[in-house]
Amino acid sequence: MSQPTIESILNEKRLFAPPADFVQKARINSPEAYQALYDKAKADPAGFWAELAETELHWFQKWDQVLDWQPPFAQWFVNGKLNITHNCLDRHLTTWRKNKAALIWEGEPGDSCTLTYAQLHREVCLFANVLKQLGIKKGDIVGIYMPMIPEAAIAMLACARIGAPHSVVFGGFSAEALRDRLNDGQAKLVITADGGFRKDKAVPLKAEVDKALANNAAPSVENVLVVQRTQEKIPMEPGRDHWWHDLRQGVSAVCPAEPMDSEDVLFVLYTSGSTGKPKGVVHTTGGYNLYTHMTTQWTFDIQDEDVYWCTADVGWITGHSYIVYGPLSNGATSLMYEGAPRASNPGCFWDVIEKYGVTIFYTAPTAIRAFIKMGEHLPNGRDLSSLRLLGTVGEPINPEAWMWYHKVIGKERCPIVDTWWQTETGGHMLTALPGAIATKPGSACMPLPGILADVVDLEGNPVPDNEGGYLVVRHPWPSMMRTVYGDDNRFRRTYWEHIAPKDGQYLYFAGDGARRDGDGYFWVMGRVDDVISVSGHRLGTMEIESALVSHGAVAEAAVVGKPDDLKGEAIVAFVTLEGDQIPNDALAQELRQHVVAEIGALARPEEIRFSEALPKTRSGKIMRRLLRSLASGQEVFGDTSTLEDRSVLDKLREGA
Ligand code: 6R9
């Protein structure tokens, strides 16, 4: 092997079999059943996906060809015609699900509502007719900048109904970030709200839209459609700004779903590169509908009785695929929550679970680590007995955080699905199937059927079991991104050229390191950009961080390298402590020893820096790039606009 890959030092051996009562109900209920499905997909991918597309979705017109693969450009279900909102709404109206809850919504101040499939369908049709009235046509991009209220999902579905690709911009982003995204997509309309409630405050949104559009800075935008939420007074520009509650009065509730080509763009969603301008990830209709539909079934084993809650924001891919499209396509009940744990109610998540009898709960490691920090008394004070399945997404989960989730939230009864995937992949790629695959804390387990995942070196050669390398996918899958909006070259460069095509086969690589163990389980080791090189050993961040988090005093840890004359790089660990712990030198020394005892002297942090919080993106991912600059005493460079809380960085700087 000519290029060094990544060394693995973590030694996690615990194994949790699927609980018997879960297995009893599950669609895929044994390792053999999973393997059979996996093998079937591998032997004949086109046949496998065609059969599912035929049986699971409604098409207005059947496709001519399942897959047209001109690397790196894929087309799925060529010439097939469908509309994702027909699959998410209309088809349920002719069944008993017509009056089943489609969306349950809980607002932060405690207001709430439930929309049945029939009601949601009606709202989407009204909204779609308002979009038409504002001149939106098939192919026009619509910006959505909303709080977590039902109208956010309704707006997305309304766009999809008439064939206008949506571009959702997370409501926590600034006016500048919004403007850049609107301009990149040449959006014609922005859908927003006066504001939303978050952490006990009314957060203004329309004001940010006004800033983004001021001085004609986003000239493609002709109209702004405003949903009333907070009732704060906001200026409305005549001719440009319109209230949703006014316009809905004048339109019909009949709006047939536009027949879309399978490859028509469904949405563009921006993902920040660590440097450079955000990439508009393009997803199309047929493949995305099928894959999010199937993965919602496989990963969550969702059933009609379930109350399913994904805590993501609809501004992220997780919200697109697993609050809106995947659950609704399956006729499931999806819960949306506007709020976040906050001073006035740190245990609000547990209140929501108790109130609605949530059965499936899907959240992020960053949230779990925050729950750990806040203390067990909060979840222990609520009845969580309705839960039957837990999920995590967004970052590698440290085994000890996994164990806490398993014990304190799942009461050792609920399987945990650790789902590895990306904005670019559209849907889950690696996960446990909860009724079939025993879980290992910290492992994203197995590839889903149809996903030919592998761990390779830079030349594309598979690395032996238990050696770290680059996580790649060898065969196209239906919900893969189609391109970077307006920039095919960037698409090719970013995802398909890091690892050279081998024997004519293109490998998809989007930046994570991983290892596969002897049982075929995948362990994601973190972004390869964050790998630390100590005396010629390349170490992933996840394993060292997990060793730190396994110490009782530590809530969260981030490790980075700083230049070192002798070793190349030395490890610097940024550590936040659990509620009652006091930082001091003795504890720092103890943590260093703890890492050595857990995974070896090689991983011993040279420096431990205690900190109240770590810098994170707005979706909760630790920004190690910024910590790297701090650790080596450099000014922080590059884009910091995705940082959730600037003051965290300032505090870290002062402490340096
Ligand atoms: C869905 C989502 C993608 C990146 C991905 C990886 C990290 C997500 C993970 C995980 C380890 C998991 N990531 N899930 N790492 N285990 N279960 O988060 O999409 O925002 O595009 O981020 O997140 O590094 O490459 P996105």
CATH of the domain at 64: 3.40.50.12780
Q: Ligand 1: which of 283, 313, 420 to mutate, judged by most atoms within 8 Å of the beta carbon?
A: 420
**CA of 318 relative to ligand 1 center, distance in Å:** 10
- The pLDDT assigned to 1 comes to 41
**Distance in Å, CA 207 to ligand 1 centroid:** 31
Compute the mean pLDDT over every residue in the chain, rounded to the nearest whole number: 95
Q: Identify whether residues 518 and 551 lie together within a single domain.
A: no
Spatial contact of 375 and 394, defined as CB atoms under 8 Å apart:
no
Domain span holding position 370: 20-83+281-523
The pLDDT value recorded for residue 2 is 46
Last residue of a domain, one of 258, 290, 305: 258
Indicate if 356 and 306 belong to the same structural domain.
yes
The span from the CA of 568 to the CA of 536, in Å, is: 7
Whole-number pLDDT of residue 651: 83
Q: Coil, strand or helix: which one is 312?
A: coil
pLDDT digits (tens, 9 = 90+) for 70-79: 999 999 999 9
> Which of 499, 523, 547 is where one domain is finished?
523
Same domain for 500 and 561: no
Are 215 and 292 in a shared domain?
no
> Are residues 309 and 229 both part of a single domain?
no
Does 111 appear as a known binding residue? no
- The DSSP result for 557-597, as a single string, is EEEEEEEETTTEEEEEEEEEE-TT----HHHHHHHHHHHHH
Q: Ligand 1, closest atom to CA 419? A: 17
Task: Tell whether 133 is covered by a domain.
Answer: yes
Residues 93 and 178 grouped into a single domain: yes
Over residues 418-461, the pLDDT tens digits come to 999 999 999 999 999 999 999 999 999 999 999 999 999 999 99
Q: Is 333 close to ligand 1, i.e. is its CB under 6 Å away? A: no
pLDDT confidence of residue 525: 95
pLDDT digit string, tens, across residues 588-634:
999 999 999 998 899 999 999 999 899 999 889 999 999 999 999 88
- What's the gap in Å between 423 CA and the centre of ligand 1? 8
199 is in an annotated binding site: yes
Please, which residues have CB within 8 angstroms of residue 531's CB and are 6 or more apart in sequence? 6, 513, 538, 539, 540, 541
pLDDT digits (tens, 9 = 90+) for 173-214: 999 999 999 999 999 999 999 999 999 999 999 999 999 999
pLDDT at residue 273, rounded to an integer? 65
**Per the domain annotation, does 267 fall within a domain?**
no
- Please give the distance, rounded to the nearest whole angstrom, from the Cα atom of residue 421 to the centre of ligand 1: 5
Distance from Cα 396 to the centre of ligand 1, integer Å: 8
> What's the Cα-to-Cα distance from 384 to each of 301, 351, 353, 409, 529, rounded to whole Å?
19, 9, 6, 7, 39
Q: Does 374 fall in a domain?
A: yes
Instruction: Say if 8 falls within a structural domain.
Output: no
DSSP 8-class letter at 502: B
How are strands ordered across the β-sheet holding 223-227? 241-243, 223-227, 189-193, 142-145, 166-168, 265-271, 279-284
With respect to residue 130, please indicate whether it lies within any of the assigned structural domains: yes
- The reply to whether 396 and 490 lie within a common domain is yes
Residue 2 lies in a domain: no
Q: What is the predicted pLDDT for the residue at 645?
A: 82
> 201 labelled as ligand-binding?
yes
- 394 in ligand 1 pocket by Cβ < 6 Å? yes
Are 54 and 184 in the same domain? no
Residue nearest to atom 23 of ligand 1 (CA): 394
What are the helix (H) ranges across 163-267? 175-185, 206-213, 244-247
Q: Give distance in angstroms: CA of 521 to centre of ligand 1.
A: 17
Per-residue pLDDT tens digits for 242-258 = 999 999 999 999 999 99
Q: Tell me: do 574 and 634 sit in the same domain.
A: yes
Is 461 within the bounds of a domain? yes
Please write the tens of the pLDDT for every residue from 269-278.
Answer: 999 765 668 8
Q: Which of 370, 420, 426 has its CA nearest to residue 395?
A: 420
Model confidence at 644, pLDDT cuts 50, 70, 90, reads confident
- Assess whether pLDDT exceeds 80 at residue 47: yes
Ligand 1 atom closest to residue 318's alpha carbon, by position in its atom list: 1
Q: Clarify whether residues 401 and 493 are in a common domain.
A: yes
Q: Which two tokens stand for residue 216?
A: 């004609």
Number of structural domains, the chain? 3
Residue 141 is assigned to a structural domain of this protein: yes
Residues 93 and 51 both lie in one domain? no
Shared domain for 175 and 321, answered yes or no, is no
As a whole number, mean pLDDT of residues 292-307 equals 98
- Span 43-53, average pLDDT: 98
CATH of the domain at 546: 3.30.300.30
Instruction: For residue 413, say whether it is annotated as part of any ligand binding site.
Output: no
pTM value is: 0.96
Annotated binding residue 564: no
Q: Pick the last residue of a domain from 523, 547, 567.
A: 523
Start-to-end CA distance of the chain, whole Å, equals 40
